[in-house]
Amino acid sequence: MADEFDVIVIGAGPAGENAADRAVRGGLTAAIVEERLAGGECSYWACVPSKALLRPVDLAAEVARVPGLTLGEIDVARVLARRDEAVSAYDDGGQVRWIESVPIEFFRGRGRLDGPKRVRVTTEDGDERVLTARQAVVLATGSTAAVPPVPGLAEANPWTSHEVTAASSVPERLVVLGGGVVACEMAQAMHGLGARQTTVVVRGGRLLGRMEPFAGELVAESFAEAGIDVRFHTQMERVERPEPGGKVTVHLGDGPPLEADEVLVATGRDVATRGLGLDTIGLPDDAPVEVDDSMRATGVAGGWLYAVGDVNGRALLTHMGKYQARICGDVIAARARGDELPAMRDLADSYGSPQVVFTDPQVCAVGRTEEEARNEGFRVRAVEYDMGAVTGAYLLGDGYRGKAKAVVDEDRKVLLGVTFAGPGAAELLHAATIAVTAEVPLDRLWHAVPSFPTVSEIWLRLLETYGL
Ligand SMILES: Cc1cc2nc3c(=O)[nH]c(=O)nc-3n(C[C@H](O)[C@H](O)[C@H](O)COP(=O)(O)OP(=O)(O)OC[C@H]3O[C@@H](n4cnc5c(N)ncnc54)[C@H](O)[C@@H]3O)c2cc1C
Ligand SMILES: NC(=O)c1ccc[n+]([C@@H]2O[C@H](COP(=O)([O-])OP(=O)(O)OC[C@H]3O[C@@H](n4cnc5c(N)ncnc54)[C@H](O)[C@@H]3O)[C@@H](O)[C@H]2O)c1
């Protein structure tokens, strides 16, 4: 095996794999270093298993809304088996074969920067090898679950996204800490699969605090109806678990303690930079790796270091990491050829990344919220519409509840952001992403006629509400 490549990527998650792939497509040689499983968090402990667990729960909610259909018991063992299939039973053979077919050289081991353009790889057995990059090193090491310093919490060995997505059984009583995306999705999945007593402990007053407020309100209503107990404005003060794996007692800032079989911590992510050798090149190792819009790390002499995906802290989403990676691989190949192509720049992150939260109701958004747009100084007008009043939504089931909001830049008459919250709303998002990213003028968007009777008629209603 060679020790010298044009590009060396550390981390074979979705971002790392795409960066290496694009560099090779651009005519370069590439190696990728992965300490665990090729495919990264997303494939085994995040997006893929969480959605495999949520799908039956989502479908059960849909069935319950259609008169004449009756849902039987969810066969949890089969749901878990399908999740195992979705994560290839935690075997990355298929991914490694794809990597090698590109061709990208695959190194299993922990990668660490060892000075400019050098990567030290340590295998599980402790063998070491130093690889040298002719053009660039790309950091794509992702992120890990953050565990806040609540007394007794770490000692109680709580679940994080890793354990909950890989669960081999469903706890009867679950306490979830956090009110963000992981907390909402996994509380819903676990509750739907049998965690009959699910309590979500939220320090603030909202679920999904980064999105338009109505989104979290609709999810909270749906949780209350389903019997998920959401405690707002509550702190987790102390946790006790005298027996490893045994019962957990969670003490809150107010009210009686909660008894549970498991605690899930879903309070955000730490970027995976520790021990990566950033100190060998004068960068901090406890913060996201700052990059410019070509994904090149700032403040590194010679400009040979790049960072894509969660590790640069721009947008903690698989599709955005992959997008950044495509830009990164193309830029590295172009610079190696001596081209400096200004078109290859990250524009999408600055518009506001699209995101789908797979709860019931589904929540999806792209661009800026009204509050963000106003804070950034845009002259804004926002319009809202009740999605349940759209014929296509009504036909999806009884009691369809949902809401949509469009945030308009009044100076340019283009959309700055769109949010939908409602059952099945996920597939509405890409139209919004195109409208926001392509800055389609509203009087042009008016001529994009939605089909009857689809939920997409919400577009027509939003534009009519705006005054078109
Ligand atoms: C429960 C959950 C559900 C999610 N669902 C979604 C979703 O539905 N949609 C979505 O877009 N996003 C979702 N996300 C976010 C998504 O998982 C991340 O944004 C995505 O995985 C980031 O990709 P990445 O390639 O940057 O990093 P990762 O997927 O974290 O991959 C990084 C890889 O680098 C390896 N690595 C780290 N350090 C080293 C080292 N020193 N040497 C060698 N290898 C190393 C790791 O082992 C890992 O394989 C979810 C996250 C969680 C926690
Ligand atoms: N469907 C999806 O797109 C999807 C699904 C899951 C995760 N993700 C991504 O993964 C990332 C991580 O998700 P997440 O839910 O862990 O993070 P998050 O940032 O979305 O939410 C973290 C939550 O924890 C709370 N919190 C933080 N510190 C706390 C503390 N000390 N005590 C109590 N509460 C605290 C925050 O107020 C917030 O409600 C997100 O940025 C998201 O983009 C995406």
- Residue pLDDT, tens place only, 68-80: 999 889 999 999 9
pTM (2 decimals)?
0.97
Ligand 2, atom 14: closest residue by C-alpha? 268
Residue 178 Cβ contacting ligand 2 at under 6 Å: yes
Question: Is 185 close to ligand 2, i.e. is its CB under 6 Å away?
Answer: yes
- pLDDT tens-digit profile of 229-271? 999 999 999 999 999 999 999 999 989 999 999 999 999 999 9
Phi, psi (rounded to 5 degrees) for 317: -140, 140
Q: Which amino acid is at 148?
A: P
Average pLDDT, stretch 180-198? 98
> What's the gap in Å between 13 CA and the centre of ligand 1?
6
Enumerate domains of the chain plus CATH numbers.
4-39+92-144+270-348 (3.50.50.60), 154-267 (3.50.50.60), 361-466 (3.30.390.30)
Counting from 1 in the atom list of ligand 1, the atom nearest the Cα of 143 is 30
Contact criterion met (CB below 8 Å) for 158 and 171: no
Three-state secondary-structure class, residue 411 = coil
pLDDT in tens, 304-338: 999 999 999 999 999 999 999 999 999 999 999 99
Specify burial of residue 336 (Cβ count, 10 A radius: 0-12, 13-18, 19+). Answer: middle
| Average pLDDT of the residues in 213-218 | 98
Euclidean distance between CA atoms 167 and 161, whole angstroms: 10
> Tens digit of pLDDT for each residue in 114-166?
999 999 999 999 999 999 999 999 999 999 999 999 999 999 999 999 999 99
For the segment 193-215, what is each residue's pLDDT rounded down to a tens digit? 999 999 999 999 999 999 999 99
Interval between CA 206 and ligand 2 midpoint (Å): 12
Q: Find out whether the peptide bond into 103 is cis, omega within 30 degrees of 0.
A: yes
Helix (H, G, I), strand (E, B) or coil at 324: helix
- CA atoms of 454 and 392, how far apart (whole Å): 4
Residue 2 has pLDDT above 80, yes or no: no
Convert the pLDDT of each residue in 380-438 to its tens digit: 999 999 999 999 999 999 999 999 999 999 999 999 999 999 999 999 999 999 999 99
Residue nearest to atom 16 of ligand 2 (CA): 268
In sequence order, what DSSP letters do the residues of 278-322 get, joined into one string?
GGGGT--SSS---B-TTSBBTT-TTS-EEE-GGGG-S---HHHHH
Q: Which residues are paired to 269 by β-bridges?
A: 145
Confidence band of 341 (pLDDT split at 50, 70, 90): confident
Atom index in ligand 2 nearest the CA of residue 149 equals 31
SS3 category, 468? coil
Place of tokens 């909270």: 220
Q: Give the model's pLDDT for residue 342.
A: 76
Tell me what the pLDDT averaged over the chain comes to.
97
Q: State the Cα–Cα distance between residues 128 and 19, nearest whole angstrom.
A: 24
Q: For residue 267, what pLDDT is reported?
A: 98
pLDDT interval class at 344 (50, 70, 90) = confident
Query: Residue 178: nearest ligand to its CA?
Result: 2
Residue 340 has pLDDT above 90, yes or no: no
Ligand 1, atom 7: nearest CA belongs to which residue?
Answer: 47
- Give residue 90's pLDDT: 98
Does ipTM surpass 0.95 in this model?
A: yes
Whether 187 contacts 166, CB under 8 Å:
no
Determine the pLDDT at residue 331.
Answer: 97
The first and second tokens of residue 84, run together, are 């195992």
Whether pLDDT at 56 is above 80:
yes
